[in-house]
Structure 1
Amino acid sequence: MTTQTDPTAYENTEDAGVGDALAASTSDASLARTIARSTQIQTEIDKDPSRFRVLTGDRPTGNLHLGHYFGTLRSRVRLQQRGVETWILIADYQVITDRDGVGPIRERVYSVLADYLAAGLDPDNTTIFTHSSVPALNQLMLPFLSLVTDSELRRNPTVKAEFEATGGRPMSGLLLTYPVHQAADILFCKANIVPVGKDQVPHLEQARVIARRFDERYGRADAAQPVFPAPEALLSEVTNLLGTDGTKMSKSKGNTIELGMDADTTAKILKKAVTDADRTITYDPVGRPEVSNLVMLAAMASDRDPHEVAAEIGDGGGGTLKKVVTEAVNEHFAPIRERRAELAADPGYLEQVLARGNARANEVAEATLDEVRTAMQMTY
């Protein structure tokens, strides 16, 4: 794996503080550079995928649903299939950033793992691990915290977004340092690409700033490369799906279709999905968001254009639309659900997969921590 040598979207923020860097990363010019660089990375992946290591993951707060699958999971499988070294974090420690407890965490971790494998992630090619099983990763938090200030963390868009989602409850220390923990997730394995949406680009900047500051403060004078490569954004263009009630898809609202649900349950949920009174089905996300959401779901499940799906239904109305969506979703997920049921029936195999991923993550994290200690002259 190589470090980044090309100009990046943050080339003009290298001498700025985190606040300035985050502001710069949201400018139109900077976003345009990020988009251009992301396109270039896609081309470079096709030429030599071995140059790249990707890190992404999920908080195990519940079962994965169709929004997760079409939003991120399917693209992870495709990256793996293209030959990119893929690391997937099940962020169990991050569950408690804004909660009083972890809930049925063990059950949820293995449910997420089953979803990953059923969707096509291959443990022979993808490292899947949990936060709490990798002490050296979490130990990186200490030197990393010395590289940021309280005011920078409070201005961080990740902290602001997560704090707003808590409903105004007092901010925990873990929530305040959430971006630093994310940076440790990315940097411990020296991932050099991170899949994000356009609105998440500033969230990645904290990891880039920490990587740069660590090298400036502790960098190895005799080394040609810094300790940490600066991770870059791999932009996703996936449309965000709404829930079946027409609002934001959320596990807490009960408006999702989980990957593990059977065909009959899926049909019942979709039968209650919100549409409108116009019998002519069109794809108009702005004017008809609920109808268009169902059209898009059918299109993604069948790998078709949403306008084509809408035209085919024509004046069939909401009933026909729901039938088309149900058939497309159930057909697409039938093999995934079959595989998931097999995995759920073999908990010993799931435990082996996670143990192997955790062992690999520990090996890499400990090697990185050794590098960090050496750079800081803390080897005794």
Structure 2
Amino acid sequence: MAVELGVEKPDPLGVSPAQRRSAELEGLIERDPRRFRVLTGDRPTGPLHLGHYFGTLRNRVRLQGRGLEMFIVIADYQVLTDRDVAENPREHVEGLVLDYLAAGIDPARATIFAHSAVPALNQLLLPFLSLISVAELSRNPTVKDEIAHSRQSAVSGLMFTYPAHQAADVLFCKANLVPVGQDQLPHLELTRTIARRFNERYGTAPASPFPEPDALLSAAPLLLGTDGTKMSKSRGNAIALAADADETARLVRRTVTDGDRHIAYDPANRPAVSSLVLLAALCLDRDPHLVAADIGDRGAAALKATVTEAVNEHLAPIRARRAEYAADRAYLREVLREGNERARAVADSTLDEVRAAMRM
């Protein structure tokens, strides 16, 4: 799948190359799941929320259940790309482990590790940076967006290495499948470019050091936050997985809607109302149009009551598991320690191969 960086041209039916390839990959996963190694992860900047859960966590649990090998990086070093300091990193790292386990990630089948705990992974950054130009880094659309929304008074040089950091995260374990959203495709295309260039420059037939990883696009829903904009930790408009039932009810009550009393699922024209309808539908495993039809003319109050009940019922077992794991912090640290050890062993082996290929 070769795409122009940041540009995906759909076919006459409106299906992009990445979407077609993702459909093919789902078929391959069904037939032979053990051929895939997955890399995915999060930055530890705060608690995961409903957008993360329906956007990524449920898909990770699904892929794990299919038998795919999975590496999950907690990208603590990457927090520094758009922030002057990493605030409460240890607390946030443990919080991510809590959310992963509560959502159903099994540490016996998935390697959960912290970026900063794997030195060999970071040593791949230098040879990778030598394979791409400053222009390729600076025109990456995701980097441009991160710079535009940066919390720093001046953007650090680390920001421009962000795509190469992500390439190292993916390639250190030779992952060949990366679940991403549409906005992350430019990053993954640069990862594929780095892998291809390394193989061309240093690889020896018949084996190449790195696979060119595929993007697996999921039908991740876009959930809006309580203020009607994209749900985000940094915007303070999210409903965290760790929120209890009362806090969830309070947050849903303050969510913006519109002045039309009739509830309909119309994302293009009524995004705020439709996001609430979709959230209820996801929790209830129903079609959002049917959820909206059930509420009808009963207005925003009835919609919010439906959403609150659906979210609290759906998250109840997850919150119960989270509370159990939270009571045993030693276990959380053991999960992370074992994951770090496994990731270090893989990274050390890959770095040895890279050094040998480069005749270092």
TM-score range, shorter chain: over 0.9
Per the alignment, residue 229 of structure 2 pairs with 247
Per the alignment, residue 353 of structure 2 pairs with 371
1:329 counterpart letter in structure 2: V
Deviation for aligned residue 1:168? 7.7
Deviation for aligned residue 1:342? 0.9
Q: Deviations over 1:210-265 (max 9, x none)?
A: 10111111112xx4121000001101111210001212212233211100011011
2:138 is the alignment partner of 1:192: no
How is 1:1-380 mapped onto 2 (pairs within 5 angstroms)? 9-10=1-2, 21-22=4-5, 25-28=7-10, 32-166=16-150, 169-220=153-204, 223-378=205-360
User: 1: distance between equivalents of 2:237 and 2:56?
Assistant: 19
Superposition misfits of 4+ residues, deviation over 4 angstroms: none
Deviation for aligned residue 1:91? 0.2
Query: Which deviates further from its counterpart, 158-167 or 79-88?
Result: 158-167
User: 2: distance between equivalents of 1:157 and 1:360?
Assistant: 33
User: 1: distance between equivalents of 2:140 and 2:271?
Assistant: 31
1:63 counterpart letter in structure 2: P
Native 8 Å contact 2:82 2:151 kept in 1: no
* TM-score, normalization by structure 2: 0.96
2:5 counterpart letter in structure 1: L
Q: Deviations over 1:120-141 (max 9, x none)?
A: 0000001110100000000001
Deviation for aligned residue 1:167? 6.1
User: 1: distance between equivalents of 2:165 and 2:24?
Assistant: 28
Q: Deviations over 1:100-132 (max 9, x none)?
A: 111111000000110000000000001110100
RMSD: 1.5
Deviation for aligned residue 1:31? 6.8
1:186 counterpart letter in structure 2: V
* TM-score, normalization by structure 1: 0.91
1:105 counterpart letter in structure 2: P
Native 8 Å contact 2:82 2:152 kept in 1: no
Deviation for aligned residue 1:340? 0.4
2:67 counterpart letter in structure 1: G
User: 1: distance between equivalents of 2:291 and 2:128?
Assistant: 50
SS at match of 1:259: coil
Deviation for aligned residue 1:269? 1.1
Deviation for aligned residue 1:290? 1.2
1:254 counterpart letter in structure 2: G
User: 1: distance between equivalents of 2:346 and 2:89?
Assistant: 25
Native 8 Å contact 1:54 1:86 kept in 2: yes
Query: Which deviates further from its counterpart, 368-377 or 32-41?
Result: 32-41
Q: Deviations over 1:277-299 (max 9, x none)?
A: 22221111122111111100000
Deviation for aligned residue 1:26? 2.5
- Structure 1: runs of 5+ lacking an equivalent: 1-8, 14-20
Q: Deviations over 1:68-119 (max 9, x none)?
A: 1011111111110111111111000001111111111100000011000000
Q: Deviations over 1:132-151 (max 9, x none)?
A: 00000000011111111112
CA change 1:365–1:31 in 2 (3 A) is farther
Deviation for aligned residue 1:185? 0.4
User: 2: distance between equivalents of 1:371 and 1:40?
Assistant: 31
SS at match of 2:21: helix
